[in-house]
Structure 1
Amino acid sequence: MATTATPPPSNGPLVVQPLKRRHCGECGRGPLPLLVMEEGTPRCLDCADLGHLVFLPRGDTALTRRSREESGLSAVVVRFHRRRGRYERQGVLVEEAALARAEERCLADAEARRRRRTRDARRRAAEDVRFTDAFARNIRRLFPGCPADRAHAIAAHASVRGSGRVGRSAAGRALSEAAVVSAVRAAVRHTETPYDQLLMSGVARHEARRRIAAAVDGTMACWREGGPDGEGREGGPAWEGEDD
């Protein structure tokens, strides 16, 4: 399609990035990187009274919007796309001071967003600590013979945010007994038995589980019997927080 296709309508001046070598019909300057068509004649930005504006490429929507808000005069820059047969927006021309003010506003917003992300990260970290502690307490409640450090390690592994593990399931976050038992069973399977070695040697998962089932049940039964002080038997699950 010819490059003489009609550019799209625009509020304010419209500037074209020409595909061919064009010269200003008023001052003769050229070839022009940007031009304005007036009554069918190309004119350079200086002759079109837009030479004092600076080019802001497309890509940053917020910066573009704010630059046009700050600028008393602005223009849309387009270029014809031959394959698509249409003019496409390339950016805008705005006053340099307006662009500087818009950049300051965007930087202020970026700093505010950074501080908000930091606060959110701290809040989530505090929630994670409370949740892990609550999960560990419930392990000790159901398995009082489980050493405290092991209970905390199991809870920390099961409750990693975004991991998809049982501690982050709906049942896990509710600290249901089934979820706690499932987390403990998985930990015992991987750390107290040769289960991983069996898998690495090529034993099928179901067969490997069958072979170590007695060892898992034995360890869990021992932990259920309780330690010398019976610590952790009292109290039910308690957790408040949310997983963003």
Structure 2
Amino acid sequence: MKSLHYAFADLHYYKKSTLSSIVSGSFFLVFLTALLNMLDINRIWTKELLTLSPDKETIAASLNWNTIYLLIYVIAALLYTAAAGIMAYREIAQRKAVIQKWRLLGFSDFYIIKQSLLETILVLISVLLISSMFLLVFQNSYESLLLKIHSLVGTTDFRLSIHALQDVDNVPATTSSSIYESVGVFAVNHHSLSLTTIFKRLLQNTVLLTLISSNCALIFTILGTRQSKLFLRK
């Protein structure tokens, strides 16, 4: 319990860096979740296109967006890694005097590292709670935005637009309107992105961010404790 109390006190004392970590973490968590949800939508869209029996070029154009979303996802994850590394370095630099004080009081390296990881986990719990509340409160707006982006992506892709129109032209007029509504170029079923799917992706990204942040905190805390040893020896 003392470790938890000290962790909360430390986070409160350095509240500016704590707040910036929570805000940036929440942004990346929601953004990464949105990218994976865009992949979910595109997979549903591709299945709907398959029911219309499009040619291989149309399917390839649709699947190509999966690659684009994954590429953006990897880039965003790397950006978060860089941001987490910079924040961890700055926090350890700010707390260099505290680490030296802890060592003078007889605290072990294990205790210092444990405290750093505990603070990181507490920040990520706050990030998860804020992101979860945001997605719960703005679920409809979130889904509508992703579906709108996906529709715009489809209409700007010349191959998808042309082939979708060709498929519509090849069916009776009585059913063409329903195809226009079902085909992913124009709209995706608004109930296709369930709350379960959203939070499944949210939890997956929480695990990813936890691994990245914990490793960054671990590395820079170890470096900080080694530097404090050298300082004390001098």
Q: TM-score, normalised by structure 1?
A: 0.28
Q: TM-score, normalised by structure 2?
A: 0.29
- State which structure, 1 or 2, has the greater radius of gyration over its C-alpha atoms: 1
- Structure scoring higher RCO (CA < 8 A, sep ≥ 6) equals 2
